[in-house]
């Protein structure tokens, strides 16, 4: 590996490891607070963002931040806890919507302060506004590919 490739590889590995490490800290903080995992929050938030508080199952996997596999099993767990309900799409017999329940909305409200405080502690407290803006710019460049 030449020096340029080494730098690129180091940056790449660092980005992945940092993401994993920060996510693990958030997960641990939720666990310490006796709250469900971040994946639950992630799904509930995406459904809750919709005007009708519903989202097609196939769209959930495209929107969530965390692992995209096993969305159906995750929805099964959320439904078992009465946090979401499923209903067939009226115009598409194969499509299914997940609707957030009032209990799901309440869980979001309980989980958010722990998540927010974690983000502040491990992320925004360590970066200046200029660094955050630069990071956003970098992310936009990378996601455009």
Contact 118, 26 (CB under 8 A): yes
What's the pLDDT score for residue 65? Answer: 78
**Tokens for 143?**
């996601």
Question: What is the distance between the alpha carbons of residues 137 and 142, in angstroms, rounded to a whole number?
Answer: 9
- What are the phi and psi torsion angles at 87 (to 5°)? -145, 140
What's the Cα-to-Cα distance from 138 to each of 20, 69, 141, 143, rounded to whole Å?
A: 18, 26, 5, 9
Instruction: Catalogue all structural domains in the chain, each as residue range(s) with its CATH number.
Output: 3-143 (1.10.10.10)
What is the overall mean pLDDT for the chain? 92
Average pLDDT over residues 58-81: 86
What's the pLDDT score for residue 83? Answer: 98
What's the pLDDT score for residue 89? Answer: 80
Residue 69 has pLDDT above 80, yes or no: no
What's the pLDDT score for residue 93? Answer: 65
Average pLDDT over residues 101-113: 98
Residue 92 has pLDDT above 70, yes or no: no
What percent of the chain has pLDDT above 70? 96
């Amino acid at each position: 590996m030449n020096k340029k490739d080494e730098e690129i590889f180091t940056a790449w590995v660092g980005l992945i490891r940092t993401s994993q490490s920060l996510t693990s800290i958030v997960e641990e903080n939720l666990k310490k607070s006796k709250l469900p995992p971040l994946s639950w929050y992630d799904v509930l938030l995406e459904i809750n963002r919709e005007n009708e508080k519903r989202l097609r199952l196939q769209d959930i996997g495209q929107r969530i931040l965390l692992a995209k596999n096993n969305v159906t099993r995750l929805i099964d767990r959320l439904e078992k806890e009465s946090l979401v309900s499923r209903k067939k799409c009226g115009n598409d017999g194969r499509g299914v919507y997940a609707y957030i329940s009032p209990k799901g909305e309440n869980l979001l409200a309980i989980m958010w302060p722990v998540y927010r405080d974690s983000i502040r502690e491990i992320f925004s407290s360590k970066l200046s506004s200029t660094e955050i803006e630069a990071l956003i710019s970098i992310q936009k460049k990378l996601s455009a590919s």
